[in-house]
Structure 1
Amino acid sequence: MSVENLKTMSLRQSLEKDLSGARAAIETRLFSIVPSAQTWPARLHEAQRHALLSPGKRFRPLLCVFVAKGIGFEGEAAIDVGCVAEMVHAASLILDDLPCMDDAALRRNQPTTHIAFDESTAILTATALLNRAFGVLSRLKNVDAEKRIELVDLLSYAVGSKGLIAGQIADLANSDANASVAEIERLNTLKTGALFDFSVEGASVLAGAESAQRAALKDFSYHLGLAFQLMDDVKDTVMTDKEAEKSVGRDVGKATILALTGSEAAMERLGAYIDSAKAAIARAKLSNDLTLNAVLDAQFSFLTS
């Protein structure tokens, strides 16, 4: 085996070790962050764990951890901020799957929370996860009060009426066949991009990133959010429930980039979003850009499968 091949193998093994180590730390923290399923009220806590601890790629926490590390911060707080993003993401999926929203029966290859339990428990579970997320931010260890306040403010904006919730309500009304690509991108930025923005900017706050880095990382999360939603739209069209690990066909009748431009143009746009995200990572001058690129490649691996 050549020296170059050995270097490539060594780099791949190092990346895999970094990723597996971070995932293990994230899973451990998520497991401890909500009460046990036996804690009263047991049904509520069982539902929380059903939604939060179901097998997932933990993409948002990984982004937070590795962006923070790339800037120079490796404290436990990065795990916690990443887990907060995962908690809010889980809460948003519970609500998104409700009969009054997308009416989905499958999520991460298991029954959605309102199917496994009931609608009222699902709504209360989402509310409990969201409230606990703010509590975790307020008690971050070894993070000064000013940064904790900034993180709470960031999350309130990401979730609120100008972020995730705005995107959800716009998506429910998303039936304009004449919508432009720019209008659809705006919706996608709110619905999907808001939590990527929080994950990445939260890491910037923790690590004390300089202004040029923060600007590049905002550009990164913006294009990542657009890529992720377009990928989701593609999966909704070409995959089965089992392949997508969730109920598909939820986008029928909605204005999406895929529906507007056709599959070939949509795939080209998806590739351009990913390229722009990677270019922004390069501009941010992080110490671990190879790791972040590997995280992205793993998330979008279905494009080459």
Structure 2
Amino acid sequence: MNPSLAVSLGFWQDRPPSEALLTARLADETGYRRLWIGEMATYDSFALATRIATTTTNLHLTIGPLPVAVRDPMLIARGVASVADLSGKDIDVALGTSSTLVVRDWHGREWSGRALRESVQAVRSLLSGQKTVFEGKAVSTKGYRLRLDPPKSAIAVAAFGPAAVRTAAQFGDRMVLNLITPRSAAALVEQMRHDAAEAGREPPKVTAWVIAAVDSAPDAIEQFRRGVVGYLAAPGYGEMFNEAGFEDLVTFARTRPHPAELLAAIPEELIHSIGLTGDAASIKAQLAAYAAAGIDEIAVVPASVDSDPGGRRTLTALQRITGE
């Protein structure tokens, strides 16, 4: 059985920020039921989620992954409860560690892997409406209770490394993976299920955010190629691309070439290894590969380009291809 389909907003740097709203509207109109709203360099995710929740009809929203070294548990819980109260809709949340660029450079905070594990526990208590006292080594909160109705949201954990996978297994309602090959996804799902069994829990569901462009329009592939430049040399991602057969490219990326040189070296085949691209048969094969890896839901990140603004054509075609 193929994974169910959801949509995740792309926040493409080469497009107007308002196209995120267009993609959300198109997801609603074309029959998707779940939308993931991350946070990058443009909109505050709570503000954007409130706008989307009050201007769409059928979408169940997940806000995040939110960077736990930047947003503390009280801010996260109050923000989620605010969106739920103002929109009258059920709202879920995802937590993650984000990158050192976002945490250290943009926000001037210290990046901490431990903060993820502790934040999930503290946020869960706060979202249930409890007056919370939590004293961790990286995260603490004392005495706050939501004055708005507790949204009792499901909590997803963004995972890639072993510690984050273990946190998802032990404390999350869902694990979310981003920019992942089916082979790497399978290894992470297997590890998560092992960790969940050791913790005496049912393994959480797994969502993968997957870039998508039906029929691989050239401008869409170019957008995706630009989007992966920063990942090729990153710990973990470099090894994933090595396993996918792109060892020479990863070696080159780790010499720190000029981004334009690295972009020029990225083959289209790399995009196909991490995306829903090509014709209907290719996309069905990739969906089957993610299903075999243990992925329950694919949150489609559609290209938004001149040939397909907001991703309308891709979102519509995926519904037709999967019969959803």
Please say whether Structure 1 and Structure 2 have the same fold, judged by a TM-score greater than 0.5: no
How high is the TM-score relative to the length of structure 1?
Answer: 0.32
More helix by share: 1
How high is the TM-score relative to the length of structure 2?
Answer: 0.31
